[in-house]
Copies of this chain bind each other. A is one copy, B any other.
Amino acid sequence: MIVTVTPNAALDVTYRVPRLVPGAAHRASAVESRAGGKGVNVARVLHALGAPTRALGIAGGHDGAAVVRDLAEAGIVHEFTEVDAGSRRTTTILSTVDETVTLISEPGPALSEQDWARFAASVGAAARGASVLVCSGSLPGGVPVSAYADLLRGVEVPTVLDTSGPALLAGLSARPSVVKPNLTELREVTGIGDPLRAAEELRRAGAGAVVASLGAEGMLAVADGGSWLARPSRALTGNTTGAGDAAVAGIALELAKGAPGWPAVLRRAVALSAAAVLGPLAGDFDIEHYRREHDAVEVDHATGTDD
């Protein structure tokens, strides 16, 4: 069972408008809401693929209750720690004419030390029965920057850490098996523009492997034994929100099989990520495209810009 951890889970509310025009008034033709947050998106993809998964997270207030209700309705196995502070809401504005996706996230709730201790205990217990532990997204307020490191330390199964900034840097000390920054996050935490050299820097700081998403260029893996670059068979336009989370689901699936072959990891991650771009909302993906793309992804050895 793959366990996903989403400390800053959110209620994702999507409004459909013909076109978003800053400064104008819009009437949304439709409103949908469902459980969100990066780890929840990972669990949603795994669940759709029929992979055993358990979504852990933190929820509070009315929006938090709606998150838990939605997971139950979707049939996703979940275990959420209930807190007093209200969960955050993320608003997605889908322009139906030009298909742009605009996001507004609320800052997360501020947790007490006791809240976090209860959540950490539930993560520790779930990790013992897991094949892979995936930690995703930002940390809520009131939680130290070392929180992911504390969750990951001592976990005996493969781990994936998908976060950014100080939480990513601090998390490296717990030696996660894989970290999955995107290009911006990679540059931000290392100050290095070349993705290959930046990934090597993260490995020196503690990451077992680095799988970096390079947007339309595909994904780069830097691990023991080499570096690989995987490219999707064609460029797609659509909703890139959740594409990184679909990639993480692919990484976790391969890690769950045992010692991964990195080209295979990349192939699955790129195929799921591309299929997610075709999904209407984060956590959705086009399963037919995923299956076709899985055989079409090109994987090569990667070389640095100054090799």
Contact = CB atoms under 8 A, between A and B. Distances in A.
Interface of A: 15, 17, 19-29, 31, 62, 91, 93, 95, 98, 100-107, 241
Contact of A106 (B15, B19, B23, B103): B15
A61 to B, nearest CB: 9
A235 B285 CA distance: 50
A107 B26 CA distance: 11
B102 A28 contact: no
Contacts of A17: 104
Contacts of A100: 22-23
Nearest to A15: B104
Nearest to A24: B102
B23 A105 contact: no
A104 B22 contact: no
B62 A104 contact: no
Contact of A103 (B24, B29, B101, B241): B24
B26 A106 contact: no
Q: Identify the interface centre among A17, A19, A20: most chain B CB within 10 Å of its CB.
A: A20
